[in-house]
Structure 1
Amino acid sequence: MRVVVTIQHPAHVHFFKHAIRELEAQDHEVHVFAREKEMAIDLLETYDIDYEVLAGESDSLASLAMVQATYEAKLLRRARKIDPDVITAIGGVAASHVAKVTDAKSVVFYDTEHAELIQQLAYPFADAVFTPDCFRREVEAPHVRYAGYHELAYLHPDRFDPDPSVLDDLGVEVGDDEQLVVCRLVEWGASHDVGNGGFDDIEDVVSQLEDAGGKVLITAEGDLPESLESYQVSVAPERMHDLLAHADLFVGEGATMAAESAVLGTPAVYVNTLSMGYTDELEDYGLLYHFDGEERHQRGLHQSVEILEREAPTFWEGRRESMLADKTDAPDMILRAIETVVPEDVALREEARLRREARREEVTTT
């Protein structure tokens, strides 16, 4: 097969990296196209994945529309030359549109219910949409639910072994009477972030966590107050999961990192007005605590302090094992999803491709 994978966020690199390797190991032809977004390009380089950048970053919702249009137009030009069998993506707006025009099949993965615009633009054109079975919305496309989370595509214990050297590499020392807390702050610039929020006062967050014995490290998308700059750590994108795995607690506004912490067995306190099916289900497993509403700041901090003061690490590992027992191996699911939409006899697909190329040559010659 000829498979196109599109990347528009660092988490997409993690999600597809094992599937890309498996596809290439099976001698399929894989083309990866990316948009510059935070550390996505750095991750592609780190994992030695061949890629091509089609568009840059955006600094506002208005510029995001232009960047997306540029990305889609360039993807269409490249796909016409490649003539892929499958185009796959998370979200899948460009992937589903380009697949329709190029006679490819589109496989879209998604797990974010409130990103309605993306779903309205992608789902009607998709050949198959795969979501975790905790996804709470109906999908206007062939819809397959699977028992898992995006994060398990790269953090399942069969695929990920945390490296304990991450703290030494960061130069971080945690005292005998301290517990490591990773705090994540978001910038609230995505289209689905409009009108939503997290903590009221990050200085209060740090103060209360420290009073409870926390050694606080902050990773933030935007700028921090000058008083908190010393708490910020610069973690290589491929080492962030090592840090989360060795933390005693995650406290933050980002759903993806909260879920990553939870599936690693690190209790996560997620403070955000937005909820997803996967955050709700991880809360059912007792690995994540979600706080929204007007009192989310204080309620989230109260829970964080309670975890630091009361719970032992083995308590969370038991809850993680219960969750893993119910879930499937996501990279294998990705491969099955791609294979499902492709005709059984790929030779027929190749013959059709050769006929199209012959017709193009005839037109050019004429």
Structure 2
Amino acid sequence: MKILVKLNHPAHYHLYKNLIKKLRESDDEVIVVIRNKDILKDLLDEEHENYLSLIQAKARKEGNIISIIKANVFEIILQDYKLFKIVKNEKPDVMVGTDTAIAHVGRIFKIPTYIFNEDDYIVNRLFCIFTYPFARHIVSPKVCDVGKYKHKKIEYDGYQKLAYLHPSVFKPNIEIAKKYLNSLSKYYLIRLVSFSAGHDIEKKHSGLSKSLIIKLINTLSESGNVYITSERKLIPEFEKYRLKINPKDIHHVMAFADLFISDSQSMTLEAAMLGVPSIRFNSFVGKISVLNEIEERYGLSIGLNNEYPDRLLFAVNELLKNPNLKNEYKTRRDKMLSEKINLTDFMYKLLKNESIL
């Protein structure tokens, strides 16, 4: 079988990398196609992964919704055209990705497409509007709302991050963490995002402010070291806290952190998968089903709306006072893992037409 896997973001490589390996081990042919964004190309090059590149993603410019939509539509058309030529030449049996282009091109060539998404329809509306009508299948967690496309949904009891952070496929290595920081001391990670993703097209969302980051650093520094990873440009006074790291090693560093504080949805979920105590602080809180489940059912993260900065500082202090914090989160993680699936195995069986029940 020939499978085309489309990657739009570095996180997508992590999502599919174990599936790609498993398929190749069973003598299936896998074609990797990318929309080069952030460090995706560098990550693939370092992993010696062969790929075909469609376009270079451009940084999103400021503007009104209409201008942003126009820019997105132009990019979609360009990707569709370039992917069309690849598919016409390669003739894959099936296409997989978190991607609009494979849905469009798959419809033209009548090739089954599996669109993976764990954002609710209302949260990532633009992507869903352009993608779901053309997709053959939408593969999402049980708790994820796919709007009026329930008839296309293939659901699973799990999370996308477990495709690469499930203990069966990822073992945190303290020696790797030691390359970047003093693991003998307590350390805390702060993650900042740019809020330029597709689910923030209206530019209405925000997270950690400069003044709040200063307060966090002052509080956390009293008991450990503080490190910052950031999508957005850091001001000079924060540069000394920047975690300079090879991106492929970030999960090893995350796994041993004493606390993770972020305005990122994705990395908060990763911290939860690793059982790391975490706080998410942004205006998306309460709006995303997967994160709501992590916070409310399993207690693996705390979600706080950024309208209430004092609540963040209070929560941080409460967590720091708990001497058994990491053990409590390990127990919560064990409960979560006992109830969720190994997503890589699920994806493999799905593509190979094996029973997924």
Structure 1 equivalent of residue 298 of structure 2? 285
Structure 2 equivalent of residue 299 of structure 1? 311
The alpha-carbon deviation at position 49 of structure 1 amounts to 2.1
Q: Which amino acid aligns with 2:43?
A: L
Q: Is the 8 A contact 1:46 1:238 kept in 2?
A: no
- Report the Cα distance in structure 2 between the residues aligned to 1:227 and 1:165, rounded to whole angstroms: 29
1:152 lines up with 2:162 in the alignment: yes
Q: Is the 8 A contact 2:4 2:95 kept in 1?
A: yes
The alpha-carbon deviation at position 311 of structure 1 amounts to 4.2
The alpha-carbon deviation at position 293 of structure 1 amounts to 4.9
Structure 2 equivalent of residue 99 of structure 1? 106
**Partner secondary structure for residue 84 of structure 2:** helix
TM-score normalised by length of structure 1: 0.87
**Partner secondary structure for residue 125 of structure 1:** coil
- Report the Cα distance in structure 2 between the residues aligned to 1:289 and 1:69, rounded to whole angstroms: 40
- Report the Cα distance in structure 2 between the residues aligned to 1:294 and 1:156, rounded to whole angstroms: 34
Structure 2 equivalent of residue 344 of structure 1? none
The alpha-carbon deviation at position 70 of structure 1 amounts to 2.1
Q: Which amino acid aligns with 1:298?
A: D
Q: 2:320 aligns with which of 294, 301, 308?
A: 308
Q: 1:78 aligns with which of 67, 86, 92?
A: 86
The alpha-carbon deviation at position 214 of structure 1 amounts to 3.4
**Partner secondary structure for residue 18 of structure 1:** helix
- Report the Cα distance in structure 2 between the residues aligned to 1:29 and 1:230, rounded to whole angstroms: 45
1:284-363 alignment, distance < 5 Å: 284-295=297-308, 297-312=309-324, 313-340=326-353
Structure 2 equivalent of residue 359 of structure 1? none
Structure 2 equivalent of residue 237 of structure 1? 247
Aligned length: 335
Q: 1:205 aligns with which of 206, 213, 216?
A: 216
Q: Is the 8 A contact 2:207 2:306 kept in 1?
A: no
The alpha-carbon deviation at position 60 of structure 1 amounts to 1.4
Q: Show CA shifts across 1:170-189 (max 9, x none).
A: 1x22565xx21111000111
Q: Which amino acid aligns with 2:214?
A: E
The alpha-carbon deviation at position 277 of structure 1 amounts to 1.3
The alpha-carbon deviation at position 40 of structure 1 amounts to 1.4
Identity %: 28
1:110 lines up with 2:117 in the alignment: yes
**Partner secondary structure for residue 165 of structure 1:** helix
Structure 2 equivalent of residue 348 of structure 1? none
Q: Which amino acid aligns with 2:197?
A: A
TM-score normalised by length of structure 2: 0.89
Q: Which amino acid aligns with 1:192?
A: H
| Larger Rg belongs to | 1
- Report the Cα distance in structure 1 between the residues aligned to 2:251 and 2:195, rounded to whole angstroms: 22
Structure 1 equivalent of residue 64 of structure 2? none
Structure 2 equivalent of residue 21 of structure 1? 21
Q: Is the 8 A contact 2:161 2:270 kept in 1?
A: yes
Moved more, 118-127 or 307-316: 307-316
Q: Show CA shifts across 1:78-120 (max 9, x none).
A: 0011111111111x31111010112211111100120101111
Q: Which runs of 5+ in 2 are unaligned?
A: 62-67
**Partner secondary structure for residue 208 of structure 2:** coil
- Report the Cα distance in structure 2 between the residues aligned to 1:247 and 1:35, rounded to whole angstroms: 32
Structure 2 equivalent of residue 265 of structure 1? 275
Q: Which runs of 5+ in 1 are unaligned?
A: 342-366
Structure 2 equivalent of residue 88 of structure 1? 96
1:138 lines up with 2:147 in the alignment: yes
Q: Which amino acid aligns with 2:118?
A: D
Q: Is the 8 A contact 2:33 2:52 kept in 1?
A: yes
- Report the Cα distance in structure 1 between the residues aligned to 2:224 and 2:311, rounded to whole angstroms: 17
Q: CA RMSD in A?
A: 1.7
Distance 1:75 1:240, change over 3 A: same
Q: Is the 8 A contact 1:259 1:268 kept in 2?
A: no
Q: Is the 8 A contact 2:163 2:342 kept in 1?
A: yes
Q: Is the 8 A contact 1:217 1:231 kept in 2?
A: yes
